[in-house]
Amino acid sequence: SQTIHQWPATLVQPVGSPLSLECTVEGTSNPNLYWYRQAAGRGLQLLFYSVGIGQISSEVPQNLSASRPQDRQFILSSKKLLLSDSGFYLCAWRRWKGSNYGYTFGSGTRLTVV
Amino acid sequence: AQKITQTQPGMFVQEKEAVTLDCTYDTSDQSYGLFWYKQPSSGEMIFLIYQGSYDEQNATEGRYSLNFQKARKSANLVISASQLGDSAMYFCAMRVSYGNNRLAFGKGNQVVVIP
């Protein structure tokens, strides 16, 4: 079956510390992958997207980066976190066909920078 | 740029009643897709319903239906027979057909179903 996994679920990190969030997809190949961030009480903002290995596009200038080292793996990173990086981070995968056409989201990571 | 607008304030809905959530969008694309997602307090984004810009019939999925008015650029979600488990944030989103096929989201509608 096709599933998307995202971890960790919750993270509390001090300002200036590094960050690594991982997202993996199972049951498909060459997926389009996306990282979104949701600030408290707000909608989702697209941060990065990837159409293949090593192909990353950034939507918003910031101190975050993304990488796609394998076909079904998408990583969100930061070398030094800022307070403003706090939020709910969601990875998404675009399903191409089938009755469940659409975008499937991971369960999210709630990041608090202190 | 594409824009999704959801302006309704938080809503209280009586259990078993229907509720309509408004969504208007702005795009110059001819081909696009419209989605509704539900986000309960757990944070997960749950896909509810999809409407393609060329679909002539309004989409339906169980208790969810989408009232698609293309000329008015609106895509309202109708939830029939509300249940307590419907309490959540609801987001309207649009996919554009070029570039990265991104989803652009509205700011969401909070719905609370009361018994």
| Residues of chain A contacting B108 with CB distance shorter than 8 Å | 42-43
Higher pLDDT pick, B31 / B109: B109
DSSP state of B102: P
Q: Is residue B42 classed as helix, strand or coil in its secondary structure?
A: coil
User: Is the CB of A34 less than 8 angstroms away from the CB of B43?
Assistant: no
Rounded CA gap, B32 and B4, in Å?
13
Q: What is the mean pLDDT of chain B?
A: 92
The pLDDT score that the predictor gives to residue A105 is 93
Bridge partners of A108?
none
The pLDDT score that the predictor gives to residue B98 is 62
pLDDT above 80 for A100 = no
How do strand A32-38 and strand A44-52 relate by DSSP bridges?
Answer: antiparallel
User: Is the CB of A51 less than 8 angstroms away from the CB of B104?
Assistant: no
| Residues of chain A contacting B10 with CB distance shorter than 8 Å | none
The pLDDT score that the predictor gives to residue A86 is 94
User: Is the CB of A105 less than 8 angstroms away from the CB of B45?
Assistant: yes
The pLDDT score that the predictor gives to residue B17 is 97
Digit-coded pLDDT (tens) for A53-87:
999 998 886 799 999 999 999 999 999 999 999 99
pLDDT above 60 for B51 = yes
User: Is the CB of A94 less than 8 angstroms away from the CB of B106?
Assistant: no
| A97 CB-contact burial (10 Å; exposed 0-12 / middle 13-18 / buried 19+) | exposed
Higher pLDDT pick, A28 / B49: B49
Percent of chain B whose pLDDT exceeds 70:
97
Which residue numbers of B have CB closer than 8 Å to A's CBs?
4, 35, 37, 42-45, 47, 50, 91, 93, 95, 100-108
Rounded CA gap, B53 and A84, in Å?
36
pLDDT (average), residues A35-41: 88
